[in-house]
Amino acid sequence: MRELTRRDALATAALGAAALFAGRTWAQASEKRLPNIVFILADDLGYGDVGCYDQRDILTPCLDKMAAEGTRFTDAYAGSTVCAPSRCCLMTGLHSGHAYVRGNRLVPLRPQDTTVAELLRQAGYATALIGKWGLGEPETTGIPNRKGFDEFYGYLNQAHAHNYYPEYLWRNEQKERLEGNEEGKPGVSLKRAQYSPDLMAKEALDFIERNKARPFFLYFSPTIPHSNNERQHEDGNGMEVPSDAPYTDKAWPQEQKNKAAMITRLDRMAGDVLQRLKDLGLDENTIVFFTSDNGPHKEGGDPAFLRSSGPLRGIKRDLYEGGIRVPMIVRWPGRVPAGHVSKFPWAFWDLLPTLAELAGAKSPSGLDGISVVPALLGNEAQQRTHEYLYWEFHEGGFKQAVRMGDWKAVRPGTKAPLEVYALDTDPGEAHNVAAEHPDIVQRAQALFTSARTESKEWKTPAS
């Protein structure tokens, strides 16, 4: 088959979008089998940690190539500014003002919380989660195998996932011992023989191989480059990686060498997935997403050292852009335009309706998310837009944020005054213009009340 040119890709994308807007789903418009879906979710990777997002020191050649062969979104957002609620938004299509899991406490998803994996499995997909879950402990209603995943290999618990050399990982509902790893204090291994991200990367490739003859959904969520917080407290370097190559000779703090090595290792894992798809002849019928669950952490060293937030303000646990705006690269040869950079704003809660659209499945009612298939296919002019994007965060005081077009409002604490930023001219949120725009303040205040419902698990200070 001849290589598709950029013009071909845009034309194919336009035909797909035209079919959608004529009332036919992508699945109905396509003559091929349903597309395979691979969603790669990094852990605590910052907006500025990838080369194609202007990272200067960390090598990410595979992701940079993926961006050149696909579309790079500049204004994509995580579900929250920490792990569990962000992943809940991703799985359920609800933002953090409506989602059941709104913080990192061990609250499992319920039977009535429909996940994207459940929808895709019903549509005929083989489904797998390889990596970190964080939405259900053992024997609860929230474990992956009870939320739509045929296969699960990795970590159930966020704290267990801190340890890169654990004594065991979960395979479905059973613990699988990792020979040669031995834990001393909780989270701190005395013997380190098997590096869990490498094991999970192999499982991801094996899943693709086993399911090459049928549509599959692979949710690959390695723990890189999250810090091992417990080891950080023990010896000052929680950035666990087998080698700091290729940064060994850098005149950097050791934890920064390790962090960079972890990100380059993650890059190679993503590249291996893309290569496996090519080797199996699945490349042109697989849409691949790459993103992160929230902004960069401070537990593994100063995130400013390697400019992990890029031009943005804030880090993990902030509702400023650096805490919630994340890299988002999408690749689908001949469908997603190659070499395209999109400023269309969308968020994790859009994934469920988007993948349902691609799979010909019906989304549940009452979602906060919308299908962004037109934007993925390069047809932003025909893409429905959000009236607003909303976040709330319950750790260290109740915080809220809302994006309305190019306006962003932040309440960084319960009693803190509301701040307003013009993201089109001030993406780094350096200039609070609330005093000059009382109309935006009023609109944001109204949304801070109307865009959410109260939660018995995560109560606001006023409730």
Stretch (H or E) spanning 403: strand 399-404
Q: Which distant-in-sequence residues (6+ apart) come within 8 Å of 153 by Cβ?
A: 128, 129, 130, 131, 169, 170, 171, 172, 176, 199, 200, 203
At 461 the pLDDT is 83
What lies within 8 Å, CB to CB, of 397 at 6+ separation is: 413, 414, 461
pLDDT digit string, tens, across residues 265-282 = 999 999 999 999 999 999
Whether pLDDT at 285 is above 80: yes
Q: What is the pLDDT of residues 155-203, one digit of tens each?
A: 999 999 999 999 999 999 999 999 999 999 999 999 999 999 999 999 9
Q: What is the mean pLDDT of the chain?
A: 93
- pLDDT of 17 > 50? The answer is no
Domains and CATH numbers, the chain: 6-389 (3.40.720.10), 396-450 (3.30.1120.10)
State pLDDT tens for residues 382-400.
999 999 999 999 998 999 9
Report the distance separating Cα 201 and Cα 274, nearest Å. 12
What SS3 string covers 97-150?
Answer: CCCCCCCCCCCCCCCCCCCHHHHHHHCCCEEEEEEECCCCCCCCCCCHHHCCCC
Q: Is the pLDDT of residue 121 over 70?
A: yes
Is pLDDT above 80 for 14?
no
